[in-house]
Amino acid sequence: MIRVTVWNENFHEKADPKIAAIYPDGIHGAIAEGLSEYSEFEVRTATLDMPECGLDDDTLNNTDVLIWWGHCRHKDIPDEIAEKVRLRVLDGMGLIVLHSSHMSKPFLRLMGTICRLKWRENDETERIWVIDPGHPIANGLPEFIEIEQEETYGERFEIPNPDELVFISWFSGGEVFRSGCCFRRGLGKIFYFRPGHEAYPIYYRKDIRKIIANAVSWAKPSCGPRPTLGHFPVPLENIRIVDHSDEYHP
């Protein structure tokens, strides 16, 4: 069972009747609905207007994979909460960063770069090509997905080189964009996925939902060793450790 928390700043849906008409249950509601079809996920939602921005310790400590959608309210997340999210990712929690969340505080802090890009709202067509068809996030997809109208993002996208590049987008206005990027940081896995402007009903699509579900499965925490860190005065060769195999957790 993978415990998923879908977090949303939940602003456009409340401030703009046009967006509310598209996402009456919020973007978080639409994403959670898509994930609820998978019996291996236990899904809850959280929003900025909840106490502690919906990201209290109990929620974070019981989240295996956090999905993040933000746009206009990045600055309303206190630094301490952004830092808690960062540390949870480094400690193993998966993080899926959607669309304009490339400028969210946790993502910026984890990347270390500025993460800007080029953008325009011009109702262009986006075609998302699978570059790495053997990657688990591409499971069950066709070789490309076409979205008739979306906001345009264009390179240069100021990120570190992704550890794995799964998708590249083509836009009818002439741009390309690395739209599916995997990063591994600390014990955690991070997936940035580009589509999802609030003005288009993207998160109801079966293909987009499949990608998000694949990403959740990929980003789930592993159960590797917790390395010893810091001062370690005795050389390990003085400690007889020949076969650790009985201590393993399954």
For residue 153, the minimal CB distance to its own copies (Å) is 10
Stretch that binds its own copies, among 41-49, 51-59, 71-79, 116-124 (CB under 8 A): 116-124
217 half-sphere exposure, CB direction, 13 A CA radius: 14
Q: Please tell me whether residue 122 binds its own copies under the rule CB under 8 A.
A: yes
Tokens at 126, concatenated: 């986006």
Distance of CA 163 to the CA centre of its chain: 15
Q: Contact, 65 vs 222, CB < 8 A?
A: no
Among 34, 188, 195, 196, binds its own copies (CB under 8 A): 188
Site for its own copies in 137-156 (CB under 8 A): 138-146, 148, 152, 154-156
Site for its own copies in 222-241 (CB under 8 A): 222-237, 241
Cα 90 from Cα 123, distance rounded (Å)? 37
Nearer to its own copies, 18 or 222 (CB): 222
For residue 250, the minimal CB distance to its own copies (Å) is 6
Contacts of 203 (CB under 8 A, 6+ apart): 23, 27, 30, 31, 34, 196, 209, 212
Q: Please tell me whether residue 201 binds its own copies under the rule CB under 8 A.
A: no
Nearer to its own copies, 14 or 112 (CB): 112
Q: Please tell me whether residue 14 binds its own copies under the rule CB under 8 A.
A: no
For residue 101, the minimal CB distance to its own copies (Å) is 15
Stretch that binds its own copies, among 8-16, 17-25, 52-60, 204-212 (CB under 8 A): 204-212
Amino acid identity, residue 107? F
Site for its own copies in 74-113 (CB under 8 A): 86, 90, 92, 109-113
Distance of CA 182 to the CA centre of its chain: 9
User: Which of these, 175, 237, 193, 169, lies nearest to 68 by C-alpha position?
Assistant: 193
